[in-house]
Structure 1
Amino acid sequence: MAVRDYCCRPGSGSVKARRSHFWSQSHFSSIYSFTESEIEIKSETKRYRLRNKYIYLVYNIEKKIIFLIFVAITAIDTVRGAGCPTHWKRHGASCYLFVVDVPEDFIEAGSFCQRRQSKLVEIESADENNFLRTQITGTHPQEGYWIGLSDIVYEGDWVWTSSQSSAIYTDWSPNQPDNCQAHQDCAMFFAPEGFHWNDHYCTVKAAYICEMEDESFQGNVVG
């Protein structure tokens, strides 16, 4: 019986040749080739997806930043509402800052306090005055500590410069105020007199005390 030789049949070529023909470049191109429009669509789709991922990433980052800013602002407000700022001392419904190292004249001292949303201290009672004297006793300021009291406008009419109200409580040293040489128009805790009040020249550089309201102070709650 004759054996058919498929590998050597005339015109057929070898199996390898036929496979080579099947996977020829033209056949491969016919299966896997893409038109320019299809390639452009695929590229645009990829860019669109990447752009969406980028937008989503930026959006999430912005949300986190906004959240952190909100938390920080809330924390700052909480701290402010919880009491006095750093370096300030509380007594009753007020916070006090004692400035010793950078002495100023009366006007500049008041400006310093105003820039910190406060005022040169206004003393309304013996209790407040005693608290302040306790804090400054033992310190060694230049001259003393300015308080927000002056008779610049009308001689002898001592007025608190911030509220423009007349002083009701006072703690003048003996024989004070004396308006020495007719130019002592500003009041201070005077160091040589045990930090009792004295009138002095407004241009003298001295320590000073700022006062601001303690917003967290509730007072005595009556039920």
Structure 2
Amino acid sequence: MSKLKALLLFAMLVLSGCATGFNRLPYDAWYLGLFAPNYMEVWIETADAVDIHDRVFRRAMSGVAAINTPENLKPHPGGWGERPGAGAGKHVRGADLPRLIYVRWQSLVEPQTYEAYIPIPEATRQAMVKGEKAYCSFDGKWITDYRYMLTVGLAPGGVTKTWIGGPCLPPVEVARVVGTVVKLGPDSGRSGGRYALPLDPSSKAYIEKYGVPYGSW
């Protein structure tokens, strides 16, 4: 084998290792998902991740968070529910375990723009790579599952709450952080104060009837 071919092969192996096995996770990638309580619509300007090697993964997620807006105006959407789902998001590929999550979002029901820095403690990272025996009801099998899904809830008032969970493991709360108001407003001031989306008719009707249940998150 020529030296050139050997160098090219080595480079391919290094790149492949960086993309998959270099981070030594027991899965291909961890998942970052975001959601909002019923009717409390948000627009995510950016959700950035910083891994334990201080590599920054900008806009790991952006856009609409997962949310329910029932037409029957179910009252009392306060709280997060007994078992929050994974949220709308993406796998953060190429990243090692997370050290910090930064989220900047528009709370459309207020309206207000917030940002929050969510530190991920070492104990949480260790829990993300600990395999646990779990029963999966959807296929009736016992598996070794991991809590590789990191889910962030975004509520009015800038309140965030974070869980880790797996497809067949219940979520575990790991952080609650109250963000701060972004003084420049939506889109860092570039939109002239205009928010990204109008409220869904059901959300608008709910807010007009019941208001925002501050203090319940």
Query: What range is the shorter-chain TM-score in?
Result: under 0.3
Q: Taking structure 1 as the reference length, what is the TM-score of the superposition?
A: 0.25
Relative to its length, the structure with more helix (as a share) is 1
Relative to its length, the structure with more strand (as a share) is 2
Q: Taking structure 2 as the reference length, what is the TM-score of the superposition?
A: 0.26
